[in-house]
Amino acid sequence: MLKDITIGQYYPCDSIIHRLDPRVKIAGTFAFMASLFIIDSFVPYALIILFLGGVIGMSKIPAGYVIKGLKPLIPILVLTLVINMFLTPGELIWSMGPLKLTSEGLRQGVFMVVRLIFLIIGTSILTLATSPIQLTDGIEMLLNPFKKIGVPAHELAMMMTIALRFIPTLLDETDKIMKAQMARGADFESKNLMRRAKNLVPLLVPLFISAFRRADELAMAMEARCYRGGENRTRMKQIRMEKRDYISYGIMSIYMAGIVASRWII
């Protein structure tokens, strides 16, 4: 289950999506997230599927690899569906005691689940198609205008990138600790919630210790290399906007215009 989590992982590949300016990909990801909350019907999802499918195809990332990131989040998706189905008032379809299934609740539940699926897939492409160094540079350059009001652009970008970078590392560490504890008789698949929660204690303690040790080692390594933040730092590879980046902005603008127009046309 832990190996199916793709958030924070980078999928190296030579594609036009990988070669795009990281600022374009970050801005496009936020625009895509906004588009999901603009629509209020199922019909515009067709446009979103075409757009998302085109991006995945151009990125050369296997669709199965992208979709498998949904597997660990299935309980959240099911919970979202159930909550919306039974807590949204409307025309009654079925009832049993306090549980009341309505047609509006069923529609809202499916709508929210589909929205979450697209949101997870769309945002995971950003980290899958952007290396940690590029992501740091892109976030920092986007935050540079806010330096005038005292925002530490470089430090924020570095913190966010390190957090994303260590997600796969901590997942691997968790998997190793779980296997070690299971070899000693720990049961992490028990149907008894209290017993399962109790067995998580020997998992969380070494995981936190390992995380703090890695953070301390990283801090010492940065200090040993005389790291002093973003002031007067240079980059070996300077990111610059190219023709393909401007074309991508144009395609994203057309996509957003179509999404906004669908809200009033449909």
Give the pair of three-digit tokens for residue 154: 């470089």
Q: Report d(CA 257, CA 110) in Å as an integer.
A: 25
Contact 127, 225 (CB under 8 A): no
3-state SS, residue 224: helix
Alpha helices in 88-131 (DSSP H): 103-128
- Per-run averaged pLDDT (10 residues), the chain, 266 residues: 62 89 91 90 89 91 84 85 84 78 87 91 88 82 82 79 77 80 72 69 81 86 76 69 90 91 79
Give the pair of three-digit tokens for residue 187: 């049961």
pLDDT at 203: 79
Q: Report d(CA 91, CA 18) in Å as an integer.
A: 48
φ/ψ (deg, to 5) at 71? -60, -45
State the amino acid at position 215 in one-letter form: A
Contact 108, 4 (CB under 8 A): no
Contact 187, 196 (CB under 8 A): yes
Q: Report d(CA 56, CA 154) in Å as an integer.
A: 30
- CB contact set of 59 (below 8 Å; sequence gap of 6+): 13, 15, 16, 17, 18, 125, 128, 129
Q: How much is the pTM?
A: 0.78
pLDDT at 235: 66
pLDDT at 50: 92
How far, in whole angstroms, is CA 80 from its chain's centroid? Answer: 18
Q: Report d(CA 89, CA 100) in Å as an integer.
A: 9
Contact 248, 28 (CB under 8 A): yes
Give me the half-sphere count of Cα atoms (radius 13 Å) on the Cβ side of residue 129. Answer: 30
> What's the DSSP call for residue 148?
G
Cα–Cα distances in angstroms (integers) from residue 56 to residues 16, 17, 28, 38, in the given order: 11, 9, 14, 22
